[in-house]
Amino acid sequence: MSSVNIGIIGLGTVGGGTYEILKERADVISKLVGGQVRIKRVCDRREKIKDELGIDEGIFTQNYEDIINDPEISLVVVLTGNKDIAYDIIIESFKKSKHVVTANKALLALRWKEIFNAARENNSHIYFEASAASGVPLIQGINEGLAANKIKSIKGILNGTTNYILTKMSRDFSTLREATESAVKAGFAEPDSTADIEGYDAAYKICVLANIIFARPVDFKDVYVEGINNIDIADIKYAREMFNLELKLLAVVKKNKEKVEIRVHPALLAKDDMLSGVNYENNGVLVDGNYSGPVMFYGKGAGRFPAASAVVSDIIYLAQKINYNIAGRIPYVNTDTSGVMPVENMDNLQFQYYIRVTAKDCPGVLSKISGILGDNGVSIASCFQKGHGRDLQVPILMVTHFAKEGSLKAALKEIDALDIIKAESIYLRIESEKKEEIS
């Protein structure tokens, strides 16, 4: 029986899980590959990991060059967290005519063009299923299952950590800080989860997905990124009680004529929206194909084995191609790196908004506020004024009709300058699955 030799670099959570699955499922894997997948070398900086994982004798190294320079290894699994080292390893592997599997979304989002140019020059493949929705087979679903379709949009909950935090906040009315601590305790957040909370992790992922569905990649700098750091629990409560809306951190990419919109931000969803039901550490992604209609992929967005499950699927299908000598002959992802996709400015996009204005409780307040909104082209769909607040301040809650974000921001700036306004106004975008407005 033929065999494909692989090397794994990085034996952390995902790398360790990958090693374990490859050992446990060796029989099934070799049937699917049509040959044996042989783990020829594994690499990690930490020597103790060798015993912790029970690594086979003689295959462990602390120097990744041992893998890159081994001419018998044709597939390198790059699971080291450090972007710059991962980049070097990937490029060097391509140069040695090796193929690569990785889960490094930041690297793919930031250096897509260089990586795919290098892959093309060397007739190498790079697979990266685990980089978007962990164990959920999303990239393969888009790339293969929906291959016939023009993908009109992708909208999803792509970060398990923030989804866990928001679910906690919304169910237990805990603060962001308390919910984050609970996520760390449950193993769904790293002690430092800044990249998750600030929205960057989801932004890398939606950028990778955009790069798959469009020929030309998106420049990561053009992705609008807003995290959940400033979410006030009051708005989660009000939006649900008054308007039947649920707050999620949403990542969206959509083609509008010539330009694309690509954005990550907290968004309010109708209760009966499929994405509203995606709770805790789960991910859920709606992919809208022109023939298939909206297809949702849902499952664990975090955890050792879900991510390793995706990595091993990549290893199997890439090893199969290597084994039958067709790897690198058909592009896995159809990418045109001669330019970037033009991205629409957020200010030009139209949404419905939830607004909370905190004003002095005096006559004519509502008329003043709605007047300014109206002058800026923003009209109100529904409005609640919530009793008396502290110091005779009242929160005024509104849902608007569709309006340009630029117009809304201009209106809120004017409103916040009024002396009857007691705190900076809050607005949240409403994301609707349907064409009809929410009111």
12-51 positions binding a second copy, by CB under 8 A: 17, 21, 25, 28-29, 31-34
Instruction: Confirm or reject binding of residue 330 to a second copy (CB under 8 A).
Output: yes
Of 297 and 354, nearer to a second copy (C-beta) is 297
Which of 54-62, 226-234, 308-316, 394-402 is the region at the interface with a second copy (rule: CB under 8 A)? 308-316
Which of 193-201, 300-308, 380-388, 400-408 is the region at the interface with a second copy (rule: CB under 8 A)? 300-308
The sign of the CA dihedral 92, 93, 95, 96 is: positive
Cβ-based neighbours of 436, under 8 Å, separated by 6 or more = none
**Which residue type is seen at 164?**
Y
Helix (H) or strand (E) holding 184, with range, is helix 176-185
Burial class (CB in 10 A: 0-12, 13-18, 19+), 205: buried
Instruction: Confirm or reject binding of residue 209 to a second copy (CB under 8 A).
Output: no
Nearest to 209 by CA among 257, 248, 155, 249: 155
Supply 199's token pair. Answer: 């929205």
As beta bridge partners, residue 4 has 37
Supply 26's token pair. Answer: 């060796």
The angle subtended at Cα 16 by Cα 13 and Cα 19, nearest 5°, is: 150
Supply 271's token pair. Answer: 């209760």
Task: Count the neighbouring beta carbons within 10 Å of the beta carbon of residue 432.
Answer: 17
Instruction: Confirm or reject binding of residue 295 to a second copy (CB under 8 A).
Output: yes
In the complex, minimum distance from the CB of residue 274 to a second copy, in angstroms, rounded to a whole number:
6
**Among 10, 15, 16, 141, which residue sits at the site for a second copy (rule: CB under 8 A)?**
141
Say how many residues touch a second copy, by CB under 8 A. Answer: 56
Pattern 110-139, a second copy, x by CB under 8 A: -------------------x-----xxx--
In the complex, minimum distance from the CB of residue 21 to a second copy, in angstroms, rounded to a whole number:
5
In the complex, minimum distance from the CB of residue 135 to a second copy, in angstroms, rounded to a whole number:
4
What gap in Å lies between CA 153 and CA 211, rounded to an integer?
Answer: 12
**Among 187, 293, 339, 342, which residue sits at the site for a second copy (rule: CB under 8 A)?**
293
Instruction: Confirm or reject binding of residue 363 to a second copy (CB under 8 A).
Output: no
What gap in Å lies between CA 83 and CA 158, rounded to an integer?
Answer: 20
Supply 340's token pair. Answer: 């970037």
Of 133 and 421, nearer to a second copy (C-beta) is 133
Of 325 and 367, nearer to a second copy (C-beta) is 325
In the complex, minimum distance from the CB of residue 322 to a second copy, in angstroms, rounded to a whole number:
12
Which of 115-123, 159-167, 321-329, 362-370 is the region at the interface with a second copy (rule: CB under 8 A)? 321-329
Write down the catalytic residue from 50, 113, 205, 254.
205
Instruction: Confirm or reject binding of residue 297 to a second copy (CB under 8 A).
Output: yes
CB distance 376 to 408 below 8 Å: yes
The sign of the CA dihedral 416, 417, 421, 423 is: positive
Task: Count the neighbouring beta carbons within 10 Å of the beta carbon of residue 392.
Answer: 11
Of 305 and 384, nearer to a second copy (C-beta) is 305
143-162 positions binding a second copy, by CB under 8 A: 144-150
- What are the DSSP calls for 391-437, one per residue? GGEEEEEEEE-SEEHHHHHHHHHHHHTSTTEEEEEEEEEEE-SSSSP
**Among 187, 294, 339, 374, which residue sits at the site for a second copy (rule: CB under 8 A)?**
294
Instruction: Confirm or reject binding of residue 272 to a second copy (CB under 8 A).
Output: yes
Nearest to 397 by CA among 405, 389, 386, 407: 386
Supply 234's token pair. Answer: 């009051």
**Among 187, 331, 342, 374, which residue sits at the site for a second copy (rule: CB under 8 A)?**
331
Instruction: Confirm or reject binding of residue 320 to a second copy (CB under 8 A).
Output: yes
Instruction: Confirm or reject binding of residue 298 to a second copy (CB under 8 A).
Output: yes
**Among 303, 318, 328, 343, which residue sits at the site for a second copy (rule: CB under 8 A)?**
303
What gap in Å lies between CA 31 and CA 37, rounded to an integer?
Answer: 10
Pattern 76-115, a second copy, x by CB under 8 A: ----------------------------------------
- What are the DSSP calls for 145-182, one per residue? ITTTSPEEEEEEE--HHHHHHHHHHHHH---HHHHHHH
Which of 88-96, 180-188, 330-338, 356-364 is the region at the interface with a second copy (rule: CB under 8 A)? 330-338
205 belongs to the catalytic site? yes
Q: Which residues are catalytic?
A: 205
Q: Which residues bind a second copy (CB under 8 A)?
A: 17, 21, 25, 28-29, 31-34, 129, 135-137, 140-141, 144-150, 272, 274, 277, 279, 284, 289-300, 303, 305-306, 308-310, 312-313, 316-317, 320, 324, 326, 329-331, 334
